[in-house]
């Protein structure tokens, strides 16, 4: 205990030196936690975009459908099956779907698309596609109107030109891209919204009509009220063909999906493919989405479903994305490792400076009778206290920043947002909340401090008193 008190007092004999050394550890912990949180949060955001926009966490399918996605590998929409699924404690709702591929045509333009039959009301419990309908678009005519309006600043006009043909599902994203400040929004946003707003319709069961992805609509040069022609192969090799009026345009957070998706009412889609009352999948909306709960839910459902059906989780349905994220995670770990290396040299540099400054002090203490063993013990306690102050301080600062970032993700705007969208990414980076990675980052930095401690201990035990007194 006496050694601990001496070590604590020694820290504050030279506050500047202590604060510099602690600050090096503090910044090490802060940056390690900050970048790891940003990395894990961005992965989670990408996963959720895929899961909530398309697959869901769990699906029931015909056992051969995933390997051979043809309309022949479908199963009957059985109400008793849905009732049994809904009886599971973790299942909130079932979302029936019918999906297949078709050739979409509008005038001279054609493209292969994913046709998804949905129940618009039930789909809101999973992908909530209704909230993804486009509300604003910067068409060439809109940009021209904005450019001629004297009330709108030149910077906003330049950005409107940069984002020509861009679509938005809410006004806040439009405001961000045009870099309109909150204090100017009350005056400018009503003007911008007036020029750029579009009327999007709805699709309903029993009524022919379609929603299409924004990127697909631009490629096929489709607008609200235009006609889309779909041609494909139906159930048991029948011909599937139909014409559908475009009721609305949706913008999905996944550019790859946005570039090929066509939504039809479930019964209309079943009729198109001559597969009345058949489904390709029954997606499940679940309460708890952690890995353990998902696995337990799947095991319970597997225990009673018919042999011709199978249960799949989101990882199985997104193997390519999961593999890509794992590879990116490994490269991210390498970058974190490089950061640790830089941090380690920084910590070692401050410890080296601290040891060099106190060489004469160590010589005096040994000369007046202090044992090197006791001096090394006090020095070790000093370093541990400095490390503890830095680790706790870094964790505290990182916690404040990360908790703020969880509620306020980094949303890029202007030219940076345009660059992200051009590369097919949503211009947004999210943070991961406080989790086990916190402990690991702090443990790694603590190990760095302990490794750095070997240098002053080596110097103390190898101390030449005469030379130290002359320092």
pLDDT (tens digit per residue) in 92-133: 889 999 999 999 998 888 999 999 999 988 888 787 788 888
pLDDT digits (tens, 9 = 90+) for 362-378: 777 778 877 878 877 87
Q: What is the pLDDT of residue 471?
A: 59
Instruction: Please name which of 363, 389, 380 lies closest in space to residue 454, comparing C-alpha atoms.
Output: 380
- For residue 161, CA distances in Å to 146, 147, 174, 310 come to 9, 8, 13, 50
- Environment class of 221 (CB within 10 Å of its CB; exposed 0-12, middle 13-18, buried 19+): exposed
Residue 67: count of CB within 10 angstroms of its CB: 7
H helical segments located in 148-290? 154-162, 171-177, 182-196, 214-220, 255-258, 266-272
Domain ranges, ordered by start, for the chain? 2-49+321-469, 57-317
Residues in the chain: 471
Share of the chain above pLDDT 70, in %: 96
Express the helix, strand and coil content of the chain in percent, nearest 5 each: 55, 20, 25
Backbone angles phi, psi at 148, to 5 degrees: -95, 0
pLDDT digits (tens, 9 = 90+) for 412-463: 776 676 666 655 566 777 888 888 878 887 888 788 878 888 888 787 777 7
Q: Computed over its alpha carbons, how large is the radius of gyration of the chain?
A: 31
Contacts of 71 (CB under 8 A, 6+ apart): 100, 233, 234, 235, 273, 275, 278, 280
H or E stretch covering 91: strand 91-106
Q: What is the pLDDT of residue 414?
A: 65
Report residue 228's pLDDT band, with 50, 70 and 90 as the boundaries. very high
Instruction: In whole angstroms, give the CA distance from residue 392 to residue 394.
Output: 5
pLDDT digits (tens, 9 = 90+) for 172-215: 888 888 888 888 888 889 899 899 998 888 899 999 999 999 99
H helical segments located in 288-436? 291-302, 314-317, 319-357, 359-367, 372-407, 414-422
Tell me the mean pLDDT in the region 336-350: 77
pTM of the full structure: 0.74
- For residue 417, CA distances in Å to 97, 177, 422 come to 33, 7, 9
Instruction: In whole angstroms, give the CA distance from residue 246 to residue 200.
Output: 9
Instruction: In whole angstroms, give the CA distance from residue 253 to residue 263.
Output: 16
**Residues 300/311, Cβ–Cβ less than 8 Å:** no
Least confident of 218-232, 261-275, 320-334, 386-400: 320-334
């Amino acid at each position: 205990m006496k050694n601990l008190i001496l070590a604590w007092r020694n820290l504050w004999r030279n506050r500047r030196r202590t604060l510099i050394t602690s600050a090096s550890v503090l910044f090490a912990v802060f940056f390690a936690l900050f970048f790891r949180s940003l990395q894990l949060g961005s992965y989670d955001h990408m996963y959720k975009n895929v899961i909530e926009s398309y697959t869901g966490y769990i699906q029931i399918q015909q056992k051969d459908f995933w390997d051979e996605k043809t309309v022949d590998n479908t199963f009957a929409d059985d109400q008793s099956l849905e009732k049994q699924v809904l009886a599971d404690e973790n299942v909130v709702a079932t979302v029936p779907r019918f999906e297949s591929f078709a050739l979409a045509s509008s005038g001279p333009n054609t493209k292969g698309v994913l046709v998804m039959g949905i129940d618009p009301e039930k789909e809101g419990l999973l992908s909530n596609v209704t909230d993804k309908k486009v509300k604003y678009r910067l068409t060439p005519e809109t940009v021209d109107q904005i450019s001629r309006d004297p009330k709108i600043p030149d910077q906003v006009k330049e950005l409107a030109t940069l984002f020509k043909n861009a679509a938005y599902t809410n006004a806040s994203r439009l405001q961000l891209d045009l870099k309109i400040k909150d204090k100017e929004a009350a005056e400018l946003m009503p003007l911008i919204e007036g020029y750029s707003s579009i009327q999007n319709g709805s699709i309903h069961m029993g009524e022919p009509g379609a929603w299409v992805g924004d990127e697909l609509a631009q490629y096929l040069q489709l607008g609200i009220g235009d006609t889309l022609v779909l041609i494909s192969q139906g159930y048991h090799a029948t011909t599937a063909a139909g014409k559908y009026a475009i009721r609305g345009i949706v913008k999905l957070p996944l550019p790859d999906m946005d570039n090929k998706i066509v939504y039809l009412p479930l019964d209309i889609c079943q009729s198109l493919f001559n597969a009345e009352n058949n489904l390709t999948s029954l997606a499940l909306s679940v309460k708890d989405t952690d890995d353990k709960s998902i696995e337990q839910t799947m095991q319970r459902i597997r225990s009673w479903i018919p042999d011709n059906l199978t249960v799949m989780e989101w990882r199985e349905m997104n193997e390519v994305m999961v593999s890509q994220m794992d590879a990116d995670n490994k490269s991210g770990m390498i970058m974190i490792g490089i950061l640790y290396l830089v941090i380690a040299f920084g910590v070692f540099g401050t410890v080296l400076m601290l040891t060099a400054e106190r060489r004469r002090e160590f010589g005096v203490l040994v000369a007046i009778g202090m044992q090197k063993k006791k001096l090394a013990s006090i020095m070790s306690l000093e370093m541990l206290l400095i490390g503890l102050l830095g680790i706790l301080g870094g964790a505290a600062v990182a916690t404040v920043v990360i908790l703020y970032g969880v509620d306020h993700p980094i949303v890029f705007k202007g030219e940076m947002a345009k660059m992200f969208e051009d590369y097919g990414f949503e211009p947004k980076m999210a943070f991961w909340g406080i989790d086990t990675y916190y402990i690991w980052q702090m443990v790694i930095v603590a190990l760095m401090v302990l490794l750095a401690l070997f240098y002053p201990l080596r110097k103390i035990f190898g101390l030449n008193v005469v030379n130290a007194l002359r320092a």
